Structure formats: structure tokens, C-alpha cells
Amino acid sequence: DSGVTQTPKHLITATGQRVTLRCSPRSGDLSVYWYQQSLDQGLQFLIQYYNGEERAKGNILERFSAQQFPDLHSELNLSSLELGDSALYFCASSPRLAGENTGELFFGEGSRLTVL
């Protein structure tokens, strides 16, 4: 158990709909990362938050947005869903950005989104 909790584990929805994926990082971790993994492919970095602020953006579509709340949990919002958005969405957390940090990312078990 990595200590990172993602909900829901599975989600099936229709095209055009909107969903919200939730991530609770490990206790004390300030940084949250979101990744998308399509079937049998690598991890595509979407976005990173650090202590409530957006830190880095990757290949995140405009239809997607995210935020990190004061209690450090994060939500990834996916709207106007398309078939191609079907994927496993991972959240990961790490303690700090730099300095005394092992750099390891602690991954949740992922949220599997299926768009029909």
C-alpha cells in the first residue's frame, strides 16, 4: 500500500459526459502528479501541483483541468469525454520538490475510465 488513494477505481460513462477523479496523497506529501496511461502505452504526464499551486503542465487537453485543495487532495476533471479518453489515470505524490527528497513517486492504484 503506497498510501495514495484514488477514487473511483473504475468508471464507465458516455461520450460528452464529465467526470471527476479524486486523489488523496500520502500524509505529509505536498506534491501531486497526474498521469494518463492508455492501453499498453507509457505514462503521459498531465499536470503537477505543489502545495495547492500548479507547478508543471504536460500534454493535458483543454477539456481537462485539475486542482489541489488546501487539504492537499487533488481532483482531475475530464469534460466533453471522447472515446479516446478511455485510459488508466494515475495519481502520484511526493514529499517535496527538491532538497531532502528521495525523488520517489508514490502511485495510487489508478482510476480506470471507460468512455462508451
What residues line the site for another protein (CB under 8 A)? 31, 33, 35, 37, 40-43, 45, 48, 50, 55-56, 88, 90, 92, 94, 96-99, 101-105, 107, 109-110
CA distance 8 to 57: 23
CA distance 17 to 28: 34
Q: Closer to another protein at the Cβ: 17 or 41? A: 41
| Least Cβ distance, residue 82 to another protein (angstroms) | 22
CA distance 17 to 8: 16
Q: Closer to another protein at the Cβ: 80 or 101? A: 101
Residue 64 has phi, psi (to 5 degrees) of -105, 145
C-alpha cell at 45: 504526464
| Least Cβ distance, residue 21 to another protein (angstroms) | 15
| Least Cβ distance, residue 24 to another protein (angstroms) | 17
| Least Cβ distance, residue 57 to another protein (angstroms) | 10
The residue whose grid cell reads 531532502 is 100
